Amino acid sequence: MNRVSLSVLIALALLSGPSSAQGRRAACPPDNAGLTLPPGFCALVVAESVGRARHLVVAPNGDVFVALRVRRDTPAGVLALRDTSGDGVADVRRRFGPDSGGTGIALHGGYLYFATDQAVVRWVWGAGQLEPVGPPDTIVRDLVSRRQHAAKSIAIRPQDSSLFVNIGAPSNACQEQDRTAGSKGQDPCPLLAEAGGIWRFDVARRGQTQADGERFATGLRNTLALAVDPGTGVLFGAQHGRDQLNAFWPQLYTVEQSAEKPAEELFLLVRGGDYGWPYCYYDPEVGAKLLAPEYGGDGRTAGRCASARSPEIAFPAHWAPEAMVFYTGSQFPSSYRGGLFISFHGSWNRAPLPQAGFNVSFVGFARGRPAPGYNVFADGFAGADTGTAAHRPMGLAVGPDGSLYVSDDAGGRIYRIIYRGN
């Protein structure tokens, strides 16, 4: 081999970066990091105590990029993780980006995208790069950001250069007095003009404001779990349902009913679609959208909600869907391929029933649509006490080897789930 060829090979190796344990067998601990998984799967912890870890993405070389949200005791921004030893544990950490932190993150077309509460920025990103070489460009600015549901999630559809941004509604049910017993709902709800939906932007255009975007879908209280099906280009989202039916309307709902209603909903999101919030909620007992009590509902009447778009799948109440990812790898068994993983943060208001959620669930897909039902795939994050959950699933990403990565914004862990076979 001549000197020029050797130089080229060295340059390519530096460009691509470490393999981050791809092709090597990272060791899972006997307890699978405390997780309960289907037979044949195991889990390990890639990184501990990273901070308030939100969404994450994995580069083609296995580097992990985690969106960190502000927490009093830890810095925020973007955290880059690299495993150089092949044991599955990150031994290199780099932090960069806005100190205000954020939630949404994506790699697309040679750029790393990051969503703060007010903006979407991006850095030029090359293969094997672990830190930015300059300041980011702002793609969208001046996004509505209020104290309630301020976090922004993003999804990119390469087929038409669409950047989708969730803008959550800063409200429970758009009442005249928010979260107040007996307060009527505002009709029409003024919040829907600038929140409570999905906005679409041009992923390649710099300097956009929210006013430059298109309100792609509306009637969505808060849809942090957002993903594009890579096979069809169809956008899916799972929203956080409203809270406290009994607390505000005890004459209509028992505490047990309030714990089980409304369902968390997985939607196929279409342009111009109206999914019903705040006027409607999905009642899993009835199996239909019903009129909210703030708008004259009595727990039985559909009224105007008969025309609201229904969910593809209804999940238990108050589980709080936080992220979703389509499984594009080949490591897991064929039954998982093309399906959807959804993370649930866990409930806080299912009393007097036990708090629940705190898991990663799986939805199979057939011909571009969800198959009926779901299965809990990974559980045990919360530990013994769901009231003070040790870990809460948040972000999801598929690695280049087909492993599933899960972030945790309570304990600050990054998990990696691997299929070893039966």
Determine the pLDDT at residue 2. Answer: 42
Tally helices (H) and strands (E) across the chain. 3, 30
Question: How much is the average pLDDT of 227-247?
Answer: 97
Query: How many Cα atoms sit within 13 Å of 102 on the Cβ side?
Result: 30
| SS3 label, residue 80 | strand
pLDDT attached to residue 24: 53
* Domain ranges, ordered by start, for the chain: 41-419
User: What is the pLDDT, as a whole number, of residue 214?
Assistant: 98
Looking at residue 267, its amino acid is F
The size of the chain, in residues, is 422
Q: What is the pLDDT of residue 5?
A: 37
What DSSP element (H or E) covers 6?
helix 3-16
The string of pLDDT tens digits covering residues 12-64 is 333 344 444 444 568 999 999 999 999 999 999 999 999 999 999 999 999 99
CA angle 41, 42, 46 (to 5 degrees): 135
Which helix H or strand E contains 8, and what residues bound it? helix 3-16
- Give the 3-state secondary structure of 90-128: CCEEEEECCCCECCEEEEECCEEEEECCCCEEEEECCCC
**Whole-Å CA distances, 116 to 86, 190, 338, 414:** 32, 24, 29, 20
Q: With pLDDT > 90 as the criterion, what percentage of the chain qualifies?
A: 89
Tens digit of pLDDT for each residue in 132-155?
Answer: 999 999 999 999 998 899 999 999
Distance, in Å, from the CA atom of 6 to the CA atom of 89, rounded to the nearest integer, reads: 30
In which band, very low, low, confident or very high, does the pLDDT at 1 lie, cut at 50, 70 and 90? very low
pLDDT at site 15: 38
For the segment 354-406, what is each residue's pLDDT rounded down to a tens digit? Answer: 999 999 999 999 999 999 999 999 999 999 888 889 999 999 999 999 999 99
The mean pLDDT value of the chain amounts to 93
Confidence of residue 422 (pLDDT cuts 50, 70, 90): confident
Contact indicator for 210, 224 with CB cutoff of 8 Å: no
* pTM, to two decimals: 0.94
pLDDT for 17 equals: 47
> What pLDDT was estimated at residue 71?
80
The tens digit of pLDDT for each residue in 161-184 reads 999 999 999 999 999 999 999 999
Pairing of the two strands 154-157 and 162-167: antiparallel
Mean pLDDT of 207-229: 98
Pick the CATH number of 41-419 from 2.140.10.10, 3.90.1300.10, 2.120.10.30, 3.30.70.370: 2.120.10.30
Residue 175 φ/ψ, nearest 5 degrees:
-75, 160
pLDDT of residue 21: 43
Predicted pLDDT of residue 4:
36
Q: Is 150 helix (H, G, I), strand (E, B) or coil?
A: coil
